[in-house]
Structure 1
Amino acid sequence: MDTEVESGGRRGRPNYSPEFKHRLAVAACDPGVSVSKLAQDHGINTNMLFKWRRDLRAGLLAAPATDETRLLPVVLKPSAPAAKPANGAARASAIEITIADAAVRACAGTDAALLRLVLQSLRA
């Protein structure tokens, strides 16, 4: 039985480490994996593992922090020079990120936490 349990504040209920939850939720997403069997092998409730998998897919179960930095390829596309607005106002800056078939456009002032959540959900 491979479980990582910490003593919690509530009696009778274990607290599983975020790394353990993330690892099992990712394993539960693999094609052909029996979530029930995976839960049983690790001594946890099947419904709990289903919840962790749902949370992972919704971007609510954060990946464990690692010291390793992953780099993603960046492709720069030349764009046509933008026409300056007639009223002299500066054009708001924006970026577009394409992952697989999804495109994410982030304008200046976009909440960083929200953008991180969106990008994590696209990678899952």
Structure 2
Amino acid sequence: MESGGRRGGPNYPTEFKQRLAQAACEPGVSVSKLAQAHDINANMVFKWRRELRASQGAMTVPASANLLPVVVQPESSQTSLPTAVLRGCPIEIVIGDATVRVSADTNAALLRMVLQNLRA
């Protein structure tokens, strides 16, 4: 692909940039390999892809994305199992390198705070 005559760097045609940006959005496409195949810097393709996504809207989802339905339940103060059953059944939560063990009498607000700080 020949660049334009602008001084200071290449000036690629808009159609070329859009075609490569769209190709870079396809699942499984290596932006680096795509750029290399067209003898351009991968950073340019990343920039064009970012601009394309911005022009289409931030909430655009690829057609190949598998979305699952989510149902948000109101927070309940009651558990589905009696406390007597839960007392003998602690749970263990592993997030990255951290492990949190929770017993039935754990304060919910404290547990929420601990888990939020683990994700940060």
Q: Shorter-normalised TM-score: what interval?
A: 0.3 to 0.5
Instruction: Give the alignment's TM-score, normalised by structure 1.
Output: 0.44
Q: Greater relative contact order: 1 or 2 (C-alpha under 8 angstroms, separation 6 or more)?
A: 1
Instruction: Give the alignment's TM-score, normalised by structure 2.
Output: 0.45
Larger radius of gyration: 2
More helix by share: 2
More strand by share: 1
